[in-house]
């Protein structure tokens, strides 16, 4: 039995039932089952201390803004990562998506580009040509049946 399974089976009696003592019961069970407390008295003491001194809420993380440097690095990486000879209309979305995930560190839909037009306007001509070539290939592939 894994540690998670052991913990879950240990917690079952502490999770049953409702009432006013439910939160305290759950806390006591969690302290005992995780090994943070050796007996029920110690677990109750730890839970009482935790209830008396709640942790402050975490500050929300700001939305990541893609900077010009990020955009340039991502564009360069995407262009270098794509094998143009293997592109077909069927696999184009997957290939571009895989390259973008690899280069940006996350799913494309999670990446927020807040000032794309300004960033593109500041790119050097070589990078703009690479972007234009990708856009041109995409448009050509949409209309073509391979």
Residues 6 or more apart whose CB falls under 8 angstroms from that of 100 comprise: 74, 78, 108, 111
Same domain, residue pair 28 and 83: no
The two structure tokens encoding residue 75: 């564009």
pLDDT tops 60 at residue 101: yes
Domain that holds residue 110: 68-143
The residue-averaged pLDDT of 24-47 equals 92
Helix (H, G, I), strand (E, B) or coil at 42: helix
Q: What is the DSSP string of 17-35?
A: --STTHHHHHHHHHHHHHT
pLDDT band at 77 (very low <50, low <70, confident <90, very high): confident
Which residue reads 């077909």 in tokens? Answer: 88
Residue 63 lies in a domain: no
Does 46 have pLDDT greater than 80? yes
Residues 73, 11, single domain; the answer is: no
Same domain for 135 and 81, yes or no, is yes
- Local confidence band at 120 (pLDDT 50, 70, 90 cut-offs): low
User: pTM of this prediction?
Assistant: 0.41
Residues 44, 73 within the same domain? no
What DSSP element (H or E) covers 70?
A: helix 68-81
Q: What is the pLDDT of residue 64?
A: 63
């Amino acid at each position: 039995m894994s540690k998670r399974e052991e913990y879950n089976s240990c917690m079952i009696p502490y999770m049953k039932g409702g009432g006013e003592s439910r939160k305290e019961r759950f806390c006591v069970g969690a302290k005992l089952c995780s090994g943070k407390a050796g007996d029920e008295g110690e677990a109750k003491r730890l839970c009482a201390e935790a209830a008396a001194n709640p942790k402050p809420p975490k500050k929300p993380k700001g939305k990541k803004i893609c900077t010009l440097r990020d955009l340039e690095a991502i564009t360069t990486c995407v262009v270098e990562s794509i094998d143009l000879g293997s592109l077909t209309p069927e696999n184009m979305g997957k290939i571009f998506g895989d390259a973008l995930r690899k280069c940006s560190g996350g799913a494309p839909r999670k990446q927020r580009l807040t000032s794309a037009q300004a960033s593109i306007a500041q790119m050097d001509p070589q990078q703009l040509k690479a972007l234009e070539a990708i856009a041109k290939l995409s448009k050509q592939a949409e209309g073509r049946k391979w």
